[in-house]
Chains A and B, each alone.
Chain A
Amino acid sequence: MALPSAAADPLNQSTPETTENNLQPFFVLHKASSSKSEKISNGTGRTRRRIDLPPASPKKTDKSEDEKTRERDEHRYHHLRKEAFELVCSKIDSIIKDVLRDVNTSVFNEINRWVCESFNAIKSFRTPGFTEATRSFPIVADATCKKVFTGLVLTRNMEFVDDLLTFEDLGLFLRSHGCHVAKLSSLDFSAKNGIGGCLRGLLRQCLMETVDAADISILASWYREQENHNTPVVVIIEDLERCCGSVLSDFILMLSEWVVKIPVIVLMGVATTLDAPRNLLPSNVLQHLCPSKFTLGSPAERMDAVVEAVLVKECSGFSVSHKVAVFLRNYFVNQDGTLTSFIRALKIACAQHFSMEPLSFILGGLLVEEKQKGEKSGLLPEEILTYTSQLPSYARNQMAELNGKSFVHGFSELKRLHKCWSTAVLCLHEVGKCNKIRLLDLLCEVLDPDLYIARASNNHVALEKDSGVPMAGVHGIRRKYSTSQKGGFICQIVRKVRDLPTVTLKQLLKNWKKISLNFLEINEKVKDLQSMLGFEDGQFKPNVDDISKRHSSWNPLNSEKVSKAISEKAAAFLDWLVREYLRPIECIPLHEIVCFKNVEKLQLALIGDPRRRIQVDLLEFHKILKCSCCSQSGNVLLPSMHDTSIMYTLAQEHGDLINLHDWFQSFKTVVLRPCTKRKHKSKQSPLPKKRKDMHESADKSEASIQLVLGLSTLTIPLSPPCPTSVLLEDP
Chain B
Amino acid sequence: MGREKVAEEALNLLRSRLCDPSFVFKPLSNSPDSNYSKLKFIISSSVTEACNNSILLLGPRGSGKIAVLELVLKDLLEEYPDMISVIRLSGLLHSDDNCAFKEIARQLCVEHHLLFSKMASFDDNSQFMIAMLRECGLAHKTVVFVLDEFDLFAQGKQRVLYSLLDAMQSVTSQAVVIGVSCRLVCSLLNYKITTECEAVLSWDSDEFNENKLEVLTIDVICRLCFLDADQLLEKRVRSRFSHRKLLFLPPSKGDLQRLLEHILSLPIDSTLPHDYAVEFNAKLQNLSINVSVLIVFMFRSLSNLLLIDHDTRFRAVSYMDLGSGLLSLENFITALSTMERQPKLECIKEYKSIHDAFQTSDYYARNVCFRAFEHLLQRELICFTDNRGHNQSVEFRPVKLLISSHELHQGLKSYRSCPVSCSWKTCYCVHPSMTISSAKGFFFYPYG
Contacts and interface: CB of A to CB of B under 8 A. Distances in A.
Partners in one complex: yes
Interface of A: 245-246, 278-279, 282-284
Nearest to A284: B374
B370 to A, nearest CB: 6
Contact of A283 (B371, B390, B393): B371
Contacts of A246: 390
Interface in B384-408: 390, 393-394
Given A279-B393, A283-B367, 11 more contacts: A245-B390, A246-B390, A278-B367, A282-B374, A282-B394, A283-B370, A283-B371, A283-B374, A284-B371, A284-B374, A284-B378
A246 B378 CA distance: 14
B391 to A, nearest CB: 9
A245 B393 CA distance: 11
Nearest to A287: B371
Interface in B276-332: none
Q: Which 8 A-B pairs have the closest CB atoms?
A: A283-B371, A282-B374, A283-B374, A284-B374, A283-B370, A279-B393, A246-B390, A278-B367
Chain B's interface size range is under 10
Nearest to A246: B390
Contacts of B371: 283-284
Contacts of A278: 367
Nearest to B394: A282
Contacts of B367: 278, 283
13 contacts: A245-B390, A246-B390, A278-B367, A279-B393, A282-B374, A282-B394, A283-B367, A283-B370, A283-B371, A283-B374, A284-B371, A284-B374, A284-B378
Contacts of B370: 283
Interface of B: 367, 370-371, 374, 378, 390, 393-394
Contacts of A284: 371, 374, 378
Nearest to B373: A283
A283 B370 CA distance: 8
A245 B371 CA distance: 16
Most buried by B among A246, A278, A284: A284
Contacts of B394: 282
A278 B374 CA distance: 13
A246 B387 CA distance: 12
A246 B390 CA distance: 9
Nearest to A245: B390
Contacts of B378: 284
Contacts of A245: 390
Contacts of A279: 393
A245 B367 CA distance: 17
Contacts of B390: 245-246
B437 to A, nearest CB: 14
Nearest to A283: B371
Nearest to B372: A283
A90 B65 CA distance: 82
A278 B394 CA distance: 11
A379 B371 CA distance: 75
Contacts of A283: 367, 370-371, 374
B112 to A, nearest CB: 35
A283 B366 CA distance: 12
A283 B368 CA distance: 9
A246 B389 CA distance: 13
A284 B394 CA distance: 14
A196 B413 CA distance: 45
A284 to B, nearest CB: 6
Nearest to A280: B393
A272 B375 CA distance: 28
A245 B374 CA distance: 14
A569 B400 CA distance: 74
A686 B138 CA distance: 78
A282 B372 CA distance: 11
A283 B378 CA distance: 11
A428 B153 CA distance: 84
Most buried by B among A245, A246, A283: A283
A283 B367 CA distance: 8
A244 to B, nearest CB: 8
A483 to B, nearest CB: 46
A282 B384 CA distance: 15
B183 to A, nearest CB: 32
A242 to B, nearest CB: 12
A143 to B, nearest CB: 16
A278 B370 CA distance: 11
A362 to B, nearest CB: 57
Nearest to A285: B374
B394 to A, nearest CB: 8
B364 to A, nearest CB: 13
B173 to A, nearest CB: 42
Nearest to B377: A282
A286 to B, nearest CB: 9
A273 to B, nearest CB: 14
B378 to A, nearest CB: 7
A282 B374 CA distance: 7
B389 to A, nearest CB: 12
A283 B374 CA distance: 7
